[in-house]
Every structure is written in structure tokens, then in C-alpha cells.
Amino acid sequence: MASMTDEAAVRRQDALRSAVETGLVNEAEPVVGLLDVAGVRQAATSLHAAFATPGVAVEHTFAVKAASLVPVLALLGQYGLGAEVASPGELALARAAGIPPERTVLDSPAKTTAELREALSLGIAVNADNPQEIARIDALLAAAPSASPIGLRVNPQVGGGSIDAMSTATATSKFGVALRDPGAEEWVLRTYAERPWLNRLHTHTGSQGVPLPLMAAGVRAAYDLAERINAAAGRRQVTVLDIGGGLPVNFASDDITPSFGDYADLLRAEVPGLFDGRYGIVTEFGRALLAKHGTVLARVEYAKSAGGRAIAVTHAGAQVATRTVFAPEAWPLRVLALDAVGRPKTGAPVVQDVAGPCCFAGDLVAQGRALPLLDAGDHVALLDTGAYYFSTHFAYNSLPRPAVWAYTAAPGATPAFALVRAAQSPADLLAESGAGLPPLTP
Ligand SMILES: *Cc1c(COP(=O)(O)O)cnc(C)c1O
């Protein structure tokens, strides 16, 4: 029997060919995003299965920044996921997707008083980032009671992973209360003891590049702290541990490794008390739920050569693959070479650059990559781009946000496509750029 990842690769190849054949990618829309609904469902199922424990209430939320697309949030909602939001915009998207307040968590290092007031009035869970935010919540609760679960984000300062910008548990990270700083733990214990409504504790050790043992060490530190908070308060005050997201994704092959099961097993070994029924668990995964189920498909506009290097100029560059272009060592992507009808190209590998459409020299999604030689009219597929790539757009050169399509297919049948987001139109671009506003006075 073919493995699940083989089947996903077959679905992806069928979708790529069908997207080219049916003209989803065309001259007017030379780049699109594609999302595999069956893959997303399998990811959600394996997440639920990994953490399911008799007697333990587990709530999985999806980190909205990883795919800020309402139909995707609604689909995940149907698979039993809530939403982790970090801005008024993300909260609005989660609400538009029908995610109920009791399955929504607000995290952000810069919540305004108005955002806090709205979240508390809706009953959304809030994780405070720092002492000043706790003081704001004190004042808001004094003015109006709230049903919101409220936690504090702590930085266990267990160290960083391989990507500095993704490591949130370093000594000097901007997030949460730095637990190992002088006086910090005393402040935390006192803060909880004085505020019976503080009933959660939150940590998120980082995203891509943080190894599993470091993630588990961060959760362990939060768990140990919860035990000390409850002992100091003399009651079971912290009832829910929010362990964040951050499961790293393998961008080197189709294998899903590590899996949610690998991480949950490690947590069961390293933090057994987390699963003994005294705490509820909240998770906030983003990348690991969607990355492997999305693909960026783009046309090759021209093929050229410079200084002996073959260069394919495509329509997928920094506007969709922003991190890959600006930090290629940290965010390498696999690139598939496809022909004019969307089939994998054959032919001897040729070292070439795969460039994007942006007007700066570094706009390359792959440099010196050995691929069948790309030519004008061919296509490229950027793999594992289902998380962040559809929602971390860069507006350089006024390039529009591409359309995103979800695909579903019975084995052997032609894939069916459903629009998840329309491409930004010329009118949208004009509006975004101040067209129609009164002229400035010279
Ligand atoms: C970004 C973020 C997540 C999700 O991280 P992934 O690496 O996408 O799983 C979860 N929680 C918080 C607080 C975040 O900032």
C-alpha cells in the first residue's frame, strides 16, 4: 500500500497539472497558491490523536498568522480547531470564520487597551505578556467582569534554535516575562496569589528551527512553574497550560517529521504531570498543520543566462516567498520543474537560479539549484508552502497577492478546485495605494 505521503504527492501532482490545464494559472494570474484539503484533514486528525488523553481537556488552536484566510480557518474549525490570534485583524478573521470565543486565544506582545477590552467582553482567552498588561487587565476587570480565561506568558529562557528570528525563549526575547531574571519568579508567584482570576499559564518556545528537546524543556519549565504557583497560592489556581506551537517542519522531503505524535510522546516522557488530568492543555500550532499541504505554482516567463549561470525568471519571488528570498539559508524550499502543461520536466539536471519577478537582484527562490533546464512557458512549484507563504505577503513592486485555491480529489479523478482567496485585482491595488484620495496640495 502506498504511504500517506506518497498519496499526498500524487494528489499534488494531479492538482498542479490540472491547475495548468484548466487555466487557474495563466498570463493574467501567473502565480497561484494551492492547498490540499485531504492533507489538512490528515494533519488535524493526527494532531487530535497525538494529544488525546482520557480525562484531559485538550483544545487545539491554529495560529492564524500561518494562514490568515477565512475559508481555511473555517475548514480547520470544522476539524475541531480553534484560533490563536495576535491582532485585531486576526481576531476579525477568526470571528468571520465562525470560530467561537471559547475556542479563541489572544496572544500579542502589543495589545492595546481597546483590544483587551474587546477580548474580555467577548470571553476570549487572553495571555498577558508583561506586568504593565496585567495592570491594564486589573483596571478593565474592575470596570467590568469577564468570563475570559486569563494567563500570563512566560519566557523560560531555555535557549534558542537554529533561526534567531524564530527563537522566543532566549535570554533577551521580547516575549513574555523572562523567568530567570532576578526577582521575576517572585513577582509571578505574588501576581497569581493576588489575582484568583489568573487561571492559565502560557509559553511558546519558538517556531521553525527549535529542536523538540528544547520545546519540551520550555513546556517543562512552565509546568514546574504552574506547580509552584499553585503551591504558593494554596489552591489549584492554574488549571490550563497553554504550550504554544512551534513544531518544526521538514522542508527537505515529503516526509512528515517530526510528527505531532513524536512531540506528544516526548512531552509525555518529559512532563508526565501535564497529562495526569490536573491541567487542561491548549496548543497553538501553525506551520506544522499546513506547510506540507500547500504549493505555490508559477509560470516561467523567460529563461536566460548570465556569466555562465542559467536563470529562470518566474512569477514567484519575494512577494510570496518573502522569508525564503531574504533569509535563504534559514528557509530553503524544494522547487519542482514542470513543463508547459504542468507535468514534471525530465532531462539532465542543470545548475540554475530560479528567480522571481521583483526588481532587485536578490529576488531568487533557489540559487545554483540542479533541476531539469527550465524554459519560457514552463512552470515551477515551490513545495511545502502551505503555511505562512499565503499570508506573509510582501507588497514590493505593487505585485498583487495571488489567488489561493483548495483542491480535493477522489483517487484517479480530476481534482476539484474551490477559491480560498481571489487574487488582488488592479482596483484593489489602486485602493491600497491611495488612489482616489484628494490630491496633495503642492
Ligand atoms: C507564531 C506563533 C505560534 C505558531 O507557531 P508555528 O511555528 O507556526 O507552530 C504559536 N503561538 C504563538 C504565541 C506564536 O507567536
Report d(CA 101, CA 348) in Å as an integer: 54
Q: Please, which residues have CB within 8 angstroms of residue 304's CB and are 6 or more apart in sequence?
A: 310, 311, 313
pLDDT digits (tens, 9 = 90+) for 79-136: 999 999 999 999 999 999 999 999 999 999 999 999 999 999 999 999 999 999 999 9
Active-site hit among 114, 359, 361, 413 = 359
Number of C-beta neighbours around residue 226 at 10 A: 24
pLDDT category of residue 357 using cuts at 50, 70 and 90 = very high
Q: Is 358 a catalytic residue?
A: no
Q: Does ligand 1 come within 6 angstroms of the Cβ of 84?
A: yes
Structure confidence at residue 159 (pLDDT): 86
Q: State which ligand 1 atom lies nearest to the alpha carbon of 285.
A: 9
Please give the average per-residue pLDDT across 358-365, as a whole number: 97
The answer on pLDDT for 296 being more than 80 is: yes
Fold of 4-36+291-425: Lyase, Ornithine Decarboxylase; Chain A, domain 1 (2.40.37)
Which one-letter amino acid corresponds to residue 141? L
Q: Does ligand 1 come within 6 angstroms of the Cβ of 249?
A: no
Q: State which ligand 1 atom lies nearest to the alpha carbon of 127.
A: 13
Q: State which ligand 1 atom lies nearest to the alpha carbon of 107.
A: 13
Q: Does ligand 1 come within 6 angstroms of the Cβ of 286?
A: yes
Q: Does ligand 1 come within 6 angstroms of the Cβ of 204?
A: yes
Structure confidence at residue 241 (pLDDT): 98
Structure confidence at residue 173 (pLDDT): 87
Distance 285 CA to ligand 1 centre (A): 6
**The three grid cell numbers given for residue 231, joined into one nine-digit string:** 503551591
Q: Please, which residues have CB within 8 angstroms of residue 160's CB and are 6 or more apart in sequence?
A: 167, 169, 170, 206, 210
Higher-pLDDT residue of 370 and 164 is: 370
The CATH code for residues 52-285 is 3.20.20.10
Q: Does ligand 1 come within 6 angstroms of the Cβ of 218?
A: no
Domain boundaries, the chain: 4-36+291-425, 52-285
Q: State which ligand 1 atom lies nearest to the alpha carbon of 288.
A: 9
Interior/surface letters 327-341, b for 16+ CB within 10 angstroms, e for the rest: ebeebbbebbbbbee
Report d(CA 50, CA 259) in Å as an integer: 9
Distance 245 CA to ligand 1 centre (A): 5
Q: Does ligand 1 come within 6 angstroms of the Cβ of 60?
A: no
Structure confidence at residue 2 (pLDDT): 58
User: Does residue 344 have a cis bond before it (omega within 30 degrees)?
Assistant: no
Which one-letter amino acid corresponds to residue 209? G
Report d(CA 273, CA 126) in Å as an integer: 24
Please give the average per-residue pLDDT across 333-338, as a whole number: 98
Closest CA to 323 of 287, 288, 283, 284: 287
Structure confidence at residue 5 (pLDDT): 80
Q: Does ligand 1 come within 6 angstroms of the Cβ of 66?
A: yes
The answer on pLDDT for 323 being more than 70 is: yes
pLDDT digits (tens, 9 = 90+) for 137-187: 999 999 999 999 999 999 998 888 888 888 888 888 899 999 999 999 999
Smallest CA separation from ligand 1 atom 8, residue: 286
Q: What is the pTM of this model?
A: 0.97
Distance 204 CA to ligand 1 centre (A): 7
Report d(CA 359, CA 309) in Å as an integer: 19
Smallest CA separation from ligand 1 atom 1, residue: 63
In the chain, what are the helix, strand and coil shares in percent, each to the nearest 5? 35, 25, 40
